[in-house]
Amino acid sequence: MRLTRTLFRTLLIAFAAVSAYAQGPTVTIPSTGFTGLDNYRASKIAVFTNDYGQLARYREADAQLPAPAAGENRVVFFGDSITDTWKLETYFPGKPYVNRGIGGQTTSQMLVRFRQDVIDLQPKVVVILAGTNDIAGNTGPIQNQDIEANLSSLAELARAHGIRVVFSSVLPVHNYTEKSKDFFAQRPGARILELNAWLKEYCAKTGDLYLDYFSAMVDDKGMLKRELADDGLHPNDAGFKIMAPMAEAAIHKAISSK
């Protein structure tokens, strides 16, 4: 009888352990202090654990894209949601410009997919617009010096493969609308200014081009002009109409300097 009871207890313990394992561990995501950002990070757990760089997003499109034709000035626009939502065919009709933006990404994620989504496409120029989501902490807290290190790595990889680099400034943000307040609070203006100052200095040292959207889109309060973004972060048509000719001029300069 005693042996039977001991065996029974052992089986109960084993069953409880297996049940707990099957249910999986309880994961507590550290709060950022912003409900919207907390919800975003929680929604991306599968991405962060299964495909951190989101290589699957453009893998098939990259494979199907033919090599550039002789004399073709292919350009890859590389970045986060600001690039992702930019309809290049509308603002640059007839141009061999390829959009490789992914909403929400940070520079740490971009490094993972840079070879697949930029280098392997053999562009003459890459236009990089990144950093705002790092400042917000989309993939966790990160210091400006670490963002700068990531951006430096992207540029070094591009230059090693003969690709000219255009570094876009981080855009200003505003809090003029209700839906803009979270985005604005997550992105301190001082950090944006510091990162842009570093980008400008870095480009002066390396010969990369600095594309200063910030100065063209900021208002007298140091924020993004109200009419250029409804949510305080993502440019609307009016915003992209300012950015497009600036990007075109920078691309032309980059190609001419090769």
Tell me what pLDDT residue 11 has.
Answer: 46
Q: Which residues contact 92 (CB under 8 A, 6 or more apart)?
A: 244, 248
Tell me what pLDDT residue 9 has.
Answer: 57
Tell me what pLDDT residue 87 has.
Answer: 98
**18 confidence band (pLDDT: 50, 70, 90):** very low
Residue 125, φ and ψ in degrees, nearest 5:
-140, 145
User: Which of the two residues, 21 and 189, has the higher pLDDT score?
Assistant: 189
Determine the Cα–Cα distance for residues 207 and 210; give it in Å rounded to an integer.
9
Environment class of 160 (CB within 10 Å of its CB; exposed 0-12, middle 13-18, buried 19+): exposed
Alpha-carbon distances, residue 205 vs 152, 191, 196, 258 (angstroms): 12, 21, 14, 17
Is residue 20 predicted with pLDDT exceeding 80? Answer: no
Q: By the 8 A CB rule, do 135 and 155 touch?
A: no
Determine the Cα–Cα distance for residues 141 and 125; give it in Å rounded to an integer.
30
Tell me what pLDDT residue 23 has.
Answer: 58
Q: By the 8 A CB rule, do 164 and 108 touch?
A: no
Is residue 248 predicted with pLDDT exceeding 50? Answer: yes
Is residue 3 predicted with pLDDT exceeding 50? Answer: no
Topology of domain 53-256 in CATH is Rossmann fold (3.40.50)
Q: Quick: pLDDT tens for 39-68.
A: 888 888 888 889 999 999 999 999 999 999
Determine the Cα–Cα distance for residues 54 and 75; give it in Å rounded to an integer.
21
DSSP assignment letter at 224: B
Q: By the 8 A CB rule, do 151 and 193 touch?
A: no
Q: Quick: pLDDT tens for 186-243.
A: 999 999 999 999 999 999 999 999 999 999 999 999 999 999 999 999 999 999 999 9
Domain range annotation of the chain:
53-256
